[in-house]
Structure 1
């Protein structure tokens, strides 16, 4: 009797052992299949991303002024770790009249040649950029929604509101740069003008961003930041820059 029970226990143990082996093999097989499927999916995504990027590159290569595209990629690893990528051809101008013509078609405040611009200063260049800062979340939500189920997708964004404007006027070695841009964080308007002389720019910033070493006058309203800057050594005083600021914005 004892021998029979012992044999039964051994048989059960063997059955359990065999069962464990079978379960392990099943789990391993399932994991292998899952890994293979993931690899296959990843390869398919990579191919799709490459195709979409190639198509987008062709469109972007046309370099149409004002073009803005947003690329969405489901697998961030296939896009340098980013879910979205922006492609932008800003409006660029060598003529002040051309700038005024384009600026007049867009919503939002623009900047213009101040009434008291010192004699001798001439327009050098300018650009208008889309309102990415103000609409980033909206744009990305829209593109991702349209891309549902796709490994990659891009959309051309039509924009009718200024995001940033930069103008430059020069007189020999001296220049005046003017800018308006969307605030990153909305808050109350600034209390008057803030002026920083070029020699007061901290050394760390000056070393990292040499172009920041300028005499700068800044002010803001609830949605936009404005500034007028001059090169170090420019004879324009703080008071004269404030006078320019008073007629530099058109709303």
Structure 2
């Protein structure tokens, strides 16, 4: 009788042990199978040969994707221009404007100054602050020998001696080089959307996309047998403006 009772008790103890909690090692294994937060949100680690973990999308893969997107954009733009459809007329106009219009650097520079209290400078020499309330003057001292009515686009100024040619107000240089009509020429874009040009220069002292202040020299002029006059013009909204109408001129021919 006692033997039977002991056997029953042993079998009960064995069943209790078999139903007990899992060892710590088993628990750790079960916990390790649960997904990490990154995995739950779609990020899966990649195991490299060095034993380190890296996210999906290597630098080479990202560059390849950008290259494919750029090619698709290029061919998409080409397709827009090749297909003759009324539905694509608006995209054509937008593309043409984006490719031909000059970026408003001067206006962006003015916004930067208002937002951060100092001018935007892309060169090691910052633009000097000047009093913009001063009235504009001709870019070079001299006599106006050819008026706007006679020239059609600007005026011609005869300095009579070697002189610096200065911009009428602050802006950004959008052209600095040889023009087929006015030879060495500097064109400056201003914050109000206007553009001023200074031609027939003997030398150019500024570079493309340089921010310049009002009355800053853009070049110099030395009279010669080839040229005795400086060309000066103002353009706004694709129309030329008579500089004499916007600049105080003491003397007219």
TM-score of the aligned structures, taking structure 2 as reference length? 0.25
Higher percent of residues as helix? 1
Larger RCO, structures 1/2 (Cα 8 Å, 6+ apart): 1
> Is the radius of gyration larger for structure 1 or structure 2?
2
TM-score of the aligned structures, taking structure 1 as reference length? 0.25
